[in-house]
Structure 1
Amino acid sequence: MEAAGDVENERKRSMPNSKHRLRKAALAGAAGVLVASAPAFADEGMWTYDNFPAAKVKEKYGFEPGQDWLDHVRLSSARLAGGCSASFVSANGLVLTNHHCVHSCVQQLSSAKHDYVQQGFLARTKAEERVCPAMELNQLVSITDVTAEIADATNGLEGKAYSEALNGAMSGLEKSCASGSDVRCDVVTLYSGGRYHLYKYRRFQDVRLVWAPELSTAFFGGDPDNFMFPRFNLDAAFVRAYENGKPAQLDHFLRWSEEGAKAGDLSFTSGHPGRTDRQLTIAELEVQRDVLLPRRLIYLSELRGMLTEFRNRGPEQKRTANGLLFYVENSTKALGGMRNALVEKDFFASKVADEQKLRAWVAEDPTRAATYGAAWDRMAGAQREFRASMNEYYFVEGGNRSPWGFQGDFFGFARTLVRAAEEKPKASNKRLREYNDANLPAIEARLFSGAPFYPELDEALLTFSLTKLREALGTDHPFVKNLLGKESPETVARKAVRGSKLGTVGARRALYEGGAKAIAASNDPMIVLARRIDADARAIRTRYEEKVDGPQRVNGGLIAKAKFEAYGTSVYPDATFTLRLSYGAVEGWEQDGKAVAPITELGGAFERATGEDPYALPPSWLKAKGKLALATPMNFVSTNDIVGGNSGSPVVNRNGEVIGLIFDGNLPSLGGDYGFDPAVNRAVAVHSQAIIESLRTIYGASSLVDELLPVNTANGR
């Protein structure tokens, strides 16, 4: 099961056949012939919709997606802002995604009395559909190339000046694009800064839960079966997008295939892969292999132990910590798989050879050498700075995720409130990027969400993370001294959480609307904590942007331009949690000398079941067994190129119909962050027929079946 958004999990053994992961080819360039990594081979590629290789698909599979087809599938696709993919599957705003993508919503709607995670949830009428307290859905409506505008704003700048100009230009473009709270606009960095595109989204912030099965069937097999195949999971769920209190009306949605996926079928996956690093330099890959991945794995392993202990305190602690523990276990597995790819000598050697060939090609021509030649050495210098500053940056500031040193919802609220009070009075393009006008609706949706919070878990998380921060930076570090004073991490966390009122929407709203004056006057201990460390945290962020992020963007852009000169746009950009389309086929693979069949059957779940977790089917399944068509296809694999973030992506056929739902990858796919091997990398999906059979026969969800299927097939196939 893929991690949502932050693609992080472990693998148990090295990836087989990874020497095939990157092929070499002779590429003709304007200045001669360059031998380097082929732009893409076989079914490799997470392609942007404005640069999809339709002719290559026709060459291999005999079908060429036209512009109308591409536009329809794009507008039928959706993104869950928390880190997953989805698709519209009816004209009335019905959305298909994974159970693990809506798990947080299901848990937020649950209580000790009604545990929908364990019992499942079904709204038999629209009136019974429940608002997901903190869910946002985005539909990509347009893509605009803004590379020239960004280049004009940053021309000739370096370091801090470059970062400030870049952030200002991006914020300005986003603000001019976002015409209201129902529109979201993001400037997307592609090709390491070689291209910048403005993505405009239709934003849905009223999203309601329609159906989610029991966790025991959605995650059947648990961690032992995670990233394995054969699989027997019903990792599916439906939510509905609403506008103005009514189901959203859509012109584009994916119809349901009557047959679903069959072996050998051409398959497309439209989703939002979270991140790949296939275009990184060797200096960057070495830091990932030797520093960042090992440290993150240690941190997550220790967090897993803390959460396991917390769950053992009682049934309510187990319920409230289950979702986070799932994420941590999933992330640990994925990260380990990523590192396994980088420590495999043949694979890493192929990456080194590819870079050397490109650098040699650059050096052959004086103009190219003068323009691009120094970029790799400068990038290596930025990586040395990153090694030196990594602990400070990740533990204190956190990048795009929560700081490693300040885990928990309460501190997240406090930092947001403290920074919003300082940032909002500034011009939008002068603010920290996450607080510009285009991003404020998302911030306000999180702040004013009615989702429940669990102070005991928050205290345990903050205690753990403050302890790890002190270990990483050292007791004598000035930041640690300012943070803890004479107190222990346990004492600071206990006082901050137990004394805070930030668990209520009213308290957060009053501080947000009160601005700087309210924040300065607040004696809420969590606000006091966030306020006390904010100047130091901002200084750490500024140094990182000046010494690491700015040089990486500048020199990454130069390297990307060198690649463009050699390859054009026949190379797809690394994933950025933006909409991509991949193509492939329903196809098994060979593992340990044995053929792995591409499709499993629903009856296999009963054969695999033991009655004990994680192989215990829920009572609803056991009760319905005699009525089920056990030969119904259950899960399948395909050669579609995916990574984490693709969870919830629809798998569609050449007619643009749903034939499956991505929920995982196999073990070899865990190295997909750095490369793709079509011989063994496989995407794992729930079969469309398994969803219909379970809705109809197990859950009695006839209204949902009628909404998904044409009238003439609603009563059976």
Structure 2
Amino acid sequence: MKRLFLIATLVGAAPALADEGMWTYNNFPSAKVKEKYGFDPSQEWLDKVRLSSARMAGGCSASFVSPNGLVMTNHHCARGCIEQLSGSKKDYIANGFYAKSAAEETQCPAMELNQLVQLTDVTATLNKATQGLTGKAYSDALKAKMSELEQTCSAGDAKVRCDVVTLYQGGQYNLYKYRRFQDVRLVMAPEHAIAFFGGDPDNFEFPRYDLDVTFLRVYEDGKPATTDHYFKWSEKSVKEGDLTFISGHPGRTSRKLTIAELEYQRDVAMPKQLFMMSELRGMVTEFQKRGPEQKRISNNLLFGIENGLKAVKGRLEALQDKTFFAQKVAAEQELRKKVESNPEMKKKYGAAWDEIAKAEAQFVHVRKDLAYMEGGSGLSSSLFSIAKTLVRASEELPKENGLRLREYNQAGLPALQASLFSQAPIYPELEILRLSFGLTKMREELGSNHPFVKKVLGKESPDKLAARLVKGSKLCVLKDVKGSKVCDVSVRKSLFDGGKAAIAASKDPMIQLALLVDGDARAIRKNVEENIDAVIKKNSELVAQAKFDTYGTNQYPDATFTLRLSYGSVKGYMEDGKPVAPITQMSGTFAHATGEDPFALPPSWLKSEKHIDGATAMNMVTTNDIIGGNSGSPVINKDAEIVGLVFDGNIQSLGGEYGFDESSNRAVSVHSDAIIESLKKVYGATRVLEELRPGSTKVPAAKANPAG
């Protein structure tokens, strides 16, 4: 991996320079954009862009691209749906999918899209509710007030989702209100071979030649949803130097964490994560060799593991860079000196950093228990997760809303139920493999004499216990529907509706295991939330306030998988002393192909090579500040028109979790011209083309779609 050279984003520094920042829509620096690029985004413009953007609840971004609910995102963001709709006789991951008519658009078993319709600052309300409180009292009051605000906001409407979002590590709180779409259908997806052309070797690299795009459609009441706000397609190709905006949902950055928190990530969390993921990758790779069906059902899992491995390696390398980390330390020390020099600030904020450091040190001693008893590291099973949700729902739902665990609050119930009753297939052979691996790691990490390990395993080996639990459970009974496997979820529904009595009477081994371990899991969670998390949250609020008092409020918060807007331009960079051009061409796709995976193009592309204009732009890089979660984000111009689709960052951008360097950090996108050219000349996807560019299909398109 190439060494990362980063310029640190100073902790709490003055307003960001260059094209830095994942800005919230209620604090976007329009004046800075005007100063640098000559364009002043108005409130009307910002509202249009916000309402044309979408979030995939599973962890990606998307956008509305027609008034009839057509949605554009990445292929890798929709892989779960594409895989779930596939079967041994129709593999849409390998062969692609295209609905030639509305009737062929097929509902994704487990997908939800959100549109941000309103955001409100509720900082004062939450600060008042927690004023003077610490520990358990602080934690309880914060959760209760959050749940109250969310419930009032959603008002029991299943089509509305409301979340209280923590910004600036608790310096601010915003209430985000979303329009929810739970009927999402697959419209068009290319083959995996072109969507992830170059595979893991090219991942996080540039030049790239990927068509990482998928089109979905949101429905309401059985009909395509009317979307008044959507992005039109630009008729003008974006070129080097042009201004670009990216509206999406960056998952997480850690630019404003304290040094103690960063040290925990660098020295404890990430090394452990890399070891675990490396072992899991080896296990899944071997599983794929069992046969073509085993490979098909585990491809999505392997893709996620390999993508995560490369991302974590990049983040760890950034924190291990001594110069970079020294800049982080210096920035924190500068802020602390300013606080110490002001008696009033010292009294209010002076102890905050040390309190966070103590809490992090305490967490080191309980992190394994939390991961294996409450987290999913040991009981790494979709079936167990369902069982745990059912058991806890029976306990939590009868309580007052403010007293429930956060994930069971009233406002979040529609999303919880949608996930719980999803018919997405769960394949027993793969489920046994994953659970056996998790149980083995649990025994290895906690030790064979740990009371929890003894309680879970008893006299059984991880392999035997995993097989017995999975084979005996009725929480997913696979059945064939039109050539695809789906879960019969009737048992789940009866257990959910039956509440405590039904759960207590259940003989399902997964339910019995969830009941067995729930007390231990709740206890470790309670300890961490009240004695560690509450300390970190409370003191992080103080650190944030110290930054505001010192540097002002014109700064962006860390990413929180909420809608953000970044600005930049199409621009290349230098790598190893050589210039990297910002745009690749479609002809390069064929030149890059070798005929062997992962550089083998699908037959549809090989057949269409002579029809494609090789000079058409394929992929591009821009200086927009992004991070994981931005995948599927639209790239737009100043007229709020689509000019590209984000699908990756370059290798230098992986350190963007902790800082931004405009000289080399780049967002990698599919150029809008490549999407149109391939829809027209490779796939003959006239229905999609007509929605994106009305009237464009009057020009004779290519042959019928070879992939569909």
Correspondence list, 1:64-75, <5 A: 64-75=40-51
| 1:167 lines up with 2:130 in the alignment | no
| 1:644 lines up with 2:617 in the alignment | no
Correspondence list, 1:309-320, <5 A: 309-320=286-297
Q: Structure 1 residue 508: deviation in Å? A: 0.7
Instruction: Output the amino acid matched with 1:456.
Output: E
Aligned residue in 2 for 1:681: 665
| 1:55 lines up with 2:31 in the alignment | yes
Aligned residue in 2 for 1:507: 491
CA RMSD of superposed structures (Å): 1.2
Tell me, yes or no, if the aligned pair for 2:9 and 2:658 is still in contact at 8 Å: no
Q: Structure 1 residue 258: deviation in Å? A: 1.1
Instruction: Output the amino acid matched with 2:501.
Output: K
Aligned residue in 1 for 2:303: 326
1:156 partner SS? coil
| 1:290 lines up with 2:279 in the alignment | no
Task: Tell me the alpha carbon deviations over residues 98-133 of structure 1, each in whole angstroms, 9 at most, x when there is no partner.
Answer: 000000000000000000000000001111100001
Aligned residue in 1 for 2:585: 601
1:112 partner SS? coil
| 1:573 lines up with 2:557 in the alignment | yes
Q: Structure 1 residue 714: deviation in Å? A: 6.0
Instruction: Output the amino acid matched with 1:45.
Output: G
| 1:223 lines up with 2:200 in the alignment | yes
Tell me, yes or no, if the aligned pair for 2:52 and 2:231 is still in contact at 8 Å: yes
Instruction: Output the amino acid matched with 1:13.
Output: K
Aligned residue in 2 for 1:246: 223
| 1:418 lines up with 2:391 in the alignment | yes
Q: Structure 1 residue 712: deviation in Å? A: 6.2
Instruction: Output the amino acid matched with 1:680.
Output: S
2:574 partner SS? strand
| 1:627 lines up with 2:611 in the alignment | yes
1:185 partner SS? strand
Q: Structure 1 residue 235: deviation in Å? A: 0.1
Aligned residue in 1 for 2:423: 450
Range moving further from structure 2, 421-430 or 137-146: 421-430
Counterpart-to-counterpart distance in 2, 1:94 and 1:569:
37
Q: Structure 1 residue 446: deviation in Å? A: 1.1
Aligned residue in 2 for 1:616: 600
Tell me, yes or no, if the aligned pair for 1:601 and 1:632 is still in contact at 8 Å: yes
Tell me, yes or no, if the aligned pair for 1:338 and 1:673 is still in contact at 8 Å: yes
2:646 partner SS? strand
Correspondence list, 1:32-431, <5 A: 37-179=13-155, 180-398=157-375, 403-431=376-404
Q: Structure 1 residue 21: deviation in Å? A: 3.1
Range moving further from structure 2, 474-483 or 216-225: 474-483
Counterpart-to-counterpart distance in 2, 1:154 and 1:22:
31
The count of residues paired between Structure 1 and Structure 2 equals 689
Counterpart-to-counterpart distance in 1, 2:192 and 2:373:
34
Tell me, yes or no, if the aligned pair for 1:171 and 1:428 is still in contact at 8 Å: yes
Q: Structure 1 residue 170: deviation in Å? A: 0.6
Tell me, yes or no, if the aligned pair for 1:254 and 1:656 is still in contact at 8 Å: yes
Q: Structure 1 residue 570: deviation in Å? A: 1.2
Counterpart-to-counterpart distance in 2, 1:87 and 1:654:
16
Tell me, yes or no, if the aligned pair for 2:573 and 2:581 is still in contact at 8 Å: yes
Instruction: Output the amino acid matched with 1:421.
Output: S
1:304 partner SS? helix
Please, which of 466, 476, 495 is the counterpart of residue 468 of structure 2? Answer: 495
| 1:465 lines up with 2:438 in the alignment | yes
Tell me, yes or no, if the aligned pair for 2:10 and 2:328 is still in contact at 8 Å: no
1:50 partner SS? coil
Aligned residue in 1 for 2:485: none
Counterpart-to-counterpart distance in 1, 2:684 and 2:162:
40
Range moving further from structure 2, 409-418 or 136-145: 409-418
C-alpha distance 714-152 of structure 1, shift in aligned 2 (>3 A): farther
Task: Tell me the alpha carbon deviations over residues 356-399 of structure 1, each in whole angstroms, 9 at most, x when there is no partner.
Answer: 0000000111100000000000000110111111111122222x
Counterpart-to-counterpart distance in 2, 1:366 and 1:521:
62
Counterpart-to-counterpart distance in 1, 2:626 and 2:51:
20
Tell me, yes or no, if the aligned pair for 1:706 and 1:714 is still in contact at 8 Å: no
Tell me, yes or no, if the aligned pair for 1:14 and 1:344 is still in contact at 8 Å: no
Q: Structure 1 residue 409: deviation in Å? A: 1.2
Q: Structure 1 residue 484: deviation in Å? A: 1.3
2:392 partner SS? helix
Counterpart-to-counterpart distance in 1, 2:416 and 2:534:
25
Aligned residue in 2 for 1:475: 448
Counterpart-to-counterpart distance in 1, 2:657 and 2:554:
19
Tell me, yes or no, if the aligned pair for 1:259 and 1:689 is still in contact at 8 Å: no
Counterpart-to-counterpart distance in 1, 2:454 and 2:434:
20
Tell me, yes or no, if the aligned pair for 2:14 and 2:552 is still in contact at 8 Å: no
Tell me, yes or no, if the aligned pair for 1:705 and 1:714 is still in contact at 8 Å: no
Counterpart-to-counterpart distance in 2, 1:127 and 1:75:
27
Tell me, yes or no, if the aligned pair for 1:13 and 1:340 is still in contact at 8 Å: no
C-alpha distance 565-715 of structure 1, shift in aligned 2 (>3 A): farther
Counterpart-to-counterpart distance in 2, 1:615 and 1:138:
35
Structure 1 moving runs of 4+ over 2 Å? 20-24, 36-39, 710-717
Q: Structure 1 residue 713: deviation in Å? A: 8.0
Tell me, yes or no, if the aligned pair for 1:103 and 1:323 is still in contact at 8 Å: yes
C-alpha distance 406-687 of structure 1, shift in aligned 2 (>3 A): same
Instruction: Output the amino acid matched with 1:432.
Output: L
What is the TM-score with the length of structure 1 in the denominator? Answer: 0.95
| 1:592 lines up with 2:576 in the alignment | yes
Q: Structure 1 residue 716: deviation in Å? A: 8.4
Aligned residue in 2 for 1:5: none
Residue ranges of structure 2 left out of the alignment (5+ in a row): 477-487, 702-708
Counterpart-to-counterpart distance in 2, 1:654 and 1:126:
33
Tell me, yes or no, if the aligned pair for 2:689 and 2:697 is still in contact at 8 Å: no
Instruction: Output the amino acid matched with 2:314.
Output: G
Instruction: Output the amino acid matched with 2:675.
Output: I
Counterpart-to-counterpart distance in 1, 2:236 and 2:588:
20
Instruction: Output the amino acid matched with 1:21.
Output: A
Task: Tell me the alpha carbon deviations over residues 212-266 of structure 1, each in whole angstroms, 9 at most, x when there is no partner.
Answer: 0000000000000000000000000000010111111011100001123211000
Q: Structure 1 residue 412: deviation in Å? A: 1.1
Counterpart-to-counterpart distance in 1, 2:556 and 2:537:
18
2:233 partner SS? coil
Counterpart-to-counterpart distance in 2, 1:55 and 1:265:
18
Aligned residue in 1 for 2:644: 660
Instruction: Output the amino acid matched with 1:49.
Output: Y
Counterpart-to-counterpart distance in 2, 1:715 and 1:178:
47
Counterpart-to-counterpart distance in 2, 1:104 and 1:440:
22
Aligned residue in 1 for 2:479: none
2:78 partner SS? helix
Q: Structure 1 residue 568: deviation in Å? A: 2.0
Aligned residue in 1 for 2:510: 526
Aligned residue in 2 for 1:21: 8
Instruction: Output the amino acid matched with 1:437.
Output: Q
Tell me, yes or no, if the aligned pair for 1:45 and 1:572 is still in contact at 8 Å: yes
Instruction: Output the amino acid matched with 1:319.
Output: R
Counterpart-to-counterpart distance in 1, 2:696 and 2:74:
27
Tell me, yes or no, if the aligned pair for 2:384 and 2:510 is still in contact at 8 Å: yes
| 1:555 lines up with 2:531 in the alignment | no
